[in-house]
Amino acid sequence: MDVTRLLEDLNDKQREAVAAPATDTLVLAGAGSGKTRVLVHRIAWLMEVESVAPYSILAVTFTNKAAREMRGRVERLMGQALNTMWIGTFHGLAHRLLRSHHEEAGLPENFQILDSDDQYRLIKRLLKSMNLDEKHWPPKQIQWYINGNKDEGLRAKNIETHGDHTQQKMKEIYIAYEQTCQRSGLIDFAELLLRAHELWANNPQVLQHYQKRFRAVLVDEFQDTNNIQYAWLKLLTSNTDNNNMMIVGDDDQSIYGWRGANVQNISHFLRDFPRANTVKLEQNYRSTSNILNAANAVIGHNPGRLGKELWTEGGEGEKISLYAGFNDLDEARFIVSQIKSQHEQGSALADCAILYRNNAQSRVLEEALLHEGLAYRIYGGLRFFERQEIKDALAYLRLINQPIDDAAFERVVNTPTRGLGDKTLSNIRVFARENDISMWQASSKMLAQNMLSGRAANSLKGFVEMILQMTQDVKDLPLEKKADHAMKHSGLFAMYQAEKGEKAKARVENLEELVTACKQFEAPEDAEEMSPLSAFLAHASLEAGDAQADANQDAVQMMTIHTAKGLEFPFVVLAGVEEGMFPSQMSNDEPGKLEEERRLCYVGMTRAMQRLVITYAETRRLYGQDKYHTASRFIREIPGDYIEEVRLRTQIKQPIHNRFSSATSHATFEESGFKLGERVEHKKFGEGTVLNYEGSGEHARVHVNFDSVGTKILMLAYAKLVKI
Ligand code: ATP
Ligand code: MG
């Protein structure tokens, strides 16, 4: 092969890194400067010029998707398949190692991986067997504690408790947890990394084998490695002359501190590998100068950066569009209208990405996309109605609606736990099957005939009575109150509230968001025969079922900013950029958190190649409540030259406390043809009074307080309101 081909399309600095002599190298550079490209070319260079066999290459990426892409790119450069090369995530590679050396690692051949939900459940069972009250020892907190220690490389036996009672107890639980896992051949995510480290640390012959084998070790997104990952890399590569490591990273894109990542690892690398060569890349190839300068200005507000310059030869490009929605629905509609017009001008939908801070934000956006018939795909997270907690809550609503629903029954009969064992459940299942009745009916029969043991009978009776009572209590409530009541009275809400950690917080937020979804739900015209509850449940399952685009379909890409790391898109929308959302409320409480949020904003902005739109909502009904928000400080940190405010609205500013309050100006009402306080009639909702009017043109909507169903917001174009 002509090796100059491997250096084509690279600038001088990039070439320096790709063609560096065999030595350890740090490539430190800002977003879009070609770090990942350098890694790919370096791998090809090593094979082609340094005659390193693919078998001797180990490359670490942050996600499986990135690993697949990297392998594909190297294979294309080399024109051949490279199956013996190891490319993967830390977890994936650790798993592979442990499979090959399960004996040395002290694991049974068929060891199984515990995902984080399994781990949580195991901890719960363990606490019970130790007679520890979950109220005092919340399982999520225990999980956090165990994983956090493992991330630091700490086994239970090595933890100092300094005679502190709580610490001592936590340590005992950790020990019991380790024993249970060991006994059952189970290994959690954090354990994968710790075991892989121990495998090498305790088995010199195994370590030597890999030190000989992996002549080249390359790591992308190094700024987000945690301590045990770094220790693992260090074991492999330090103290030998046989192998070299190239790490690439950007301290400004360190966004996983909350999960144990340690950006200090960059300085540790320079300390531990004193001969390492540092290359800085300064040219950005991804974004227009408006986007790049704006992102640089934002990150410039962080103190203590390693300091990197970043410039582009790309043209100025369009200014960043800023749109202030008067609420979340308006924001979503605006975003979708932008994507639609971009699509009509010839862009593929897949070139458009919507990025947001929290998963819960996706729902309103999803609905707006569905409404316009635009396909979308969500990465790294389930769609709203498929999420575990939402399915739990919906299962209660389904039982209220129709108790013979076995799937719903199975899902929540013991969620939250009510002391119903597998044995009892399987008895109910068998009885139901034999008598050809639902589990709900089987339960009643078995209770009536005293077929269950005292404890099981009591638990089941409690559940049946609770559902009956709930059904009675919510009979006359509006849909959103039904949902709220079911979550609260079933104990579901409290269960998730008691959990600790980011994921649990997101679950509680999602449950609150479900109440909002119920409130905003408008039954379709053809659902007139159904109760609002049935119509809503149908909507939820249909939406979960088939709306998401299949893998090959052109679709808008949706994901959290965390998931978007390393990716790029021609057109990016950053949604929900408001104080209290982004930066999040919590970032005021924890030191260093605001800076991490700002880095996240930098990551988000720098995903955009040609066009960036930033939106926020002045009122957001999120987590079941109206919140009034101002534009994020990050928006204010962008110099005015790079940004252009989009104004579509002619609506009246509303007071903070009530999004449905009456208007303060009449001018725009005249446009609508309706007057404030005027009586109107709607085909389905009957008579009502006009309260407000917002938006203009295709965005125009009226708020009407209907005598029968209360306030509804209707699209003026479709509502067909008649004055009376
Ligand atoms: P991030 O920090 O977001 O991970 P990165 O530094 O890894 O970014 P890459 O993704 O490697 O950057 O590159 C950004 C874009 O610039 C890609 O589309 C890449 O193909 C392109 N690019 C990189 N270097 C060059 C170059 N020398 N000439 C032309 N295009 C380049
Ligand atoms: Mg990259």
Q: Is 34 in the pocket of ligand 1 (CB under 6 A)?
A: yes
pLDDT at position 379 is 78
| Residues flagged as binding site for ATP | 29-36
The reported pLDDT for the residue numbered 633 is 96
For residue 623, pLDDT beyond 90:
no
Ligand 1 atom closest to residue 566's alpha carbon, by position in its atom list: 4
Of the candidates 652, 629, 640, the residue with the CA atom closest to the CA atom of residue 577: 629
Is 607 designated active site?
A: yes
Reading the block at residue 575, the tokens are: 């949604």
- Is 220 one of the catalytic residues? yes
Q: Measured in angstroms, how far is the CA atom of residue 215 from the centroid of ligand 1?
A: 26
Check if the beta carbon of residue 319 is closer than 8 Å to that of residue 644: yes
Cα torsion 584, 590, 592, 593 to 10°: value is: -20
C-alpha 270/C-alpha 286 separation (Å) is: 28
Q: Is the CB of residue 571 less than 8 Å from the CB of residue 351?
A: yes
- Long-range pairs, 96-103, Cβ under 8 A, ≥24: 97/196, 97/199, 98/187, 98/192, 98/195, 98/196, 98/199, 101/199, 101/203, 101/206
Q: What is the pTM of this model?
A: 0.74
How high is the pLDDT of residue 381? 60
With the most atoms of ligand 1 within 8 angstroms of its CB, the residue from 14, 37, 309 to mutate is 37
**Residue range 685-706: average pLDDT?**
74
Q: By alpha-carbon position, which residue is closest to atom 24 of ligand 1?
A: 34
Is the bond preceding residue 403 a cis peptide, omega within 30 degrees? no
Beta bridge partners of 376: 556
pLDDT band at 1 (very low <50, low <70, confident <90, very high): low
Ligand nearest the Cα of residue 565 is 1
615 lines ligand 1 (CB under 6 A): no
Any idea which ligand is nearest the CA of 284? 1
Look at ligand 1, atom 2, and give the residue with the nearest C-alpha.
31
Mean pLDDT calculated for residue range 703-714? 76
- When mean pLDDT is compared across 112-126, 168-182, 187-201, 628-642, the lowest value belongs to 112-126
The reply to whether omega before 54 is within 30° of 0 (cis) is: no
Q: Six-digit token pair at 440?
A: 């709900």
By most ligand atoms within 8 Å of CB, the mutation choice from 36, 251, 288 for ligand 1 is: 36
pLDDT at 668 over 50: no
State if residue 11 touches ligand 1 by the CB under 6 angstroms criterion. yes
- Ligand 1 within 6 A of CB of 287: no
pLDDT tens digits, one per residue of 21-80: 888 999 999 999 999 999 999 999 999 999 999 999 999 998 877 888 899 999 999 999
pLDDT at 665 over 50: no
| For residue 660, pLDDT beyond 70 | no
Full set of structural domains in the chain with CATH: 4-98+194-283 (3.40.50.300), 115-184 (1.10.10.160), 294-383+552-646 (3.40.50.300), 386-496 (1.10.486.10), 667-723 (2.40.10)
Residue nearest to ligand 1 atom 31, measured at CA: 285
Mean pLDDT of the chain: 87
Angle among Cα 456, 459, 461 to the nearest 5 degrees reads: 105
In the structure, ligand 2 is a single-atom ion and the residues with CB under 5 Å from it are: 35-36, 566
Q: Is the CB of 308 under 6 A from ligand 1?
A: no
Q: CA-CA distance, 684 to 675, in Å (whole number)?
A: 21
The reply to whether ligand 1 has any atom less than 6 angstroms from the CB of 604 is: no
Residue 109: exposed, middle, or buried by beta-carbon count in 10 A (0-12, 13-18, 19+)? Answer: exposed
pLDDT at 396: 96
* Binding-site residue positions: 29-36
Q: Dump the DSSP string for 42-63.
A: HHHHHHHTS---GGGEEEE-SS
Whether 627 has a pLDDT exceeding 90, the answer reads no
Q: Is 484 exposed, middle or buried (0-12, 13-18, 19+ CB in 10 A)?
A: buried
Specify whether 411 is catalytic. Answer: no
Q: Judge whether 245 and 218 are in contact, CB under 8 Å.
A: yes
CA–CA distance, 616 with 635 (Å, rounded to integer): 10
Which pLDDT score, from 0 to 100, does residue 672 have?
63
pLDDT tens profile 588-615: 778 889 999 999 999 999 999 999 999 9
Kindly state the helix (H) or strand (E) to which residue 541 belongs, with its residue range.
Answer: helix 532-546
Ligand nearest to the CA of 9: 1
At residue 529 the predicted structure's pLDDT band, cuts being 50, 70 and 90, is low
Q: Which atom number of ligand 1 is nearest to the Cα of residue 11?
A: 27
- What lies within 8 Å, CB to CB, of 2 at 6+ separation is none
Ligand 2 centroid to Cα of residue 249, in Å, is: 8
Percent of the chain with pLDDT over 90: 56
Q: Give the length of the chain.
A: 724
Helical axes 388-401 vs 454-474, angle rounded to 10° = 80
Residue nearest to atom 13 of ligand 1 (CA): 34
Active-site annotation holds for 35: yes
Of 146-160, 214-228, 303-317, 632-646, give the lowest mean pLDDT range.
Answer: 303-317
The pLDDT of residue 483 is above 70: yes
Give the model's pLDDT for residue 656. 32
Count of C-beta atoms within a 10 Å radius of residue 651: 20
Angle, CA of 132, 156 and 109, to the nearest 5°: 100
Per DSSP, the three-state class of 655 is coil
ipTM metric: 0.99
Cα angle at 487 between 485 and 492, to 5 degrees?
150
Token pair 């050396």: residue: 101
CB of 37 closer than 6 A to ligand 1? yes
The pLDDT value recorded for residue 526 is: 58
Q: What is the pLDDT of residues 126-175, one digit of tens each?
A: 887 788 999 999 998 999 999 999 999 999 999 999 989 999 999 999 99
Amino acid at 639: P
Single out the residue of 590, 592, 600 nearest to residue 634, CA to CA: 600
Q: Mark whether 24 is an active-site residue.
A: no
Does ligand 1 come within 6 angstroms of the Cβ of 566? yes
Answer whether residue 676 shows pLDDT above 80. no
Task: Give CA–CA dist 370/556, Å, rounded.
Answer: 11
- Is the model's pLDDT at 216 over the cut of 90? yes
